[in-house]
Amino acid sequence: MKLLEDKVALITGASRGIGQAIALAFAKQGAKLVLSASSIDNLAQTATMIQGAGCPAPVLTQANVSVADEVAQVVKKALDTFGKADILVNNAGITRDNLLAIMPEKDWDEVLSINLKSAFLFTKACSRPMIKQRSGSIINMTSVIGLTGNAGQANYAASKAGLIGLTKSAAKELAKRNIRVNAVAPGFIKTRMTENLTAEQQSKIQEQVALGRLGVPEDIANAALFLASDGSSYITGQVLVVDGGLVI
List residues near ligand NAP by CB under 6 A: 12-19, 37-39, 42, 64-66, 91-94, 114, 141, 143, 186, 188-189, 191-194
Q: Who contacts 106 (Cβ-Cβ below 8 Å, separation ≥6)? A: none
How would you list the strands of the sheet with 87-90, edge to edge?
59-62, 32-37, 8-12, 87-90, 136-141, 179-186, 239-242
Please, what is the minimum distance in Å from the beta carbon of residue 248 to ligand NAP? 16
Catalytic residue selected from 156, 157, 185, 191? 156
- Minimum distance, C-beta of residue 129 to ligand NAP, in the bound complex (Å): 21
Residues 6+ apart with CB under 8 A from 183: 139, 140, 141, 142, 163, 164, 167, 238, 239, 240
Task: Indicate if 234 belongs to the active site.
Answer: no
> Least Å distance between CB 206 and ligand NAP?
13
Report the DSSP beta bridge partners of residue 37. 62
Nearer to ligand NAP, 62 or 178 (CB): 62
Shortest distance, CB of residue 220 to ligand NAP, whole angstroms?
A: 7
Nearest Cα to 228, choosing from 50, 25, 20, 16? Answer: 25
Of 21, 27, 22, 20, the closest CA to residue 2 belongs to: 27
Catalytic residue numbers, as ranges = 156
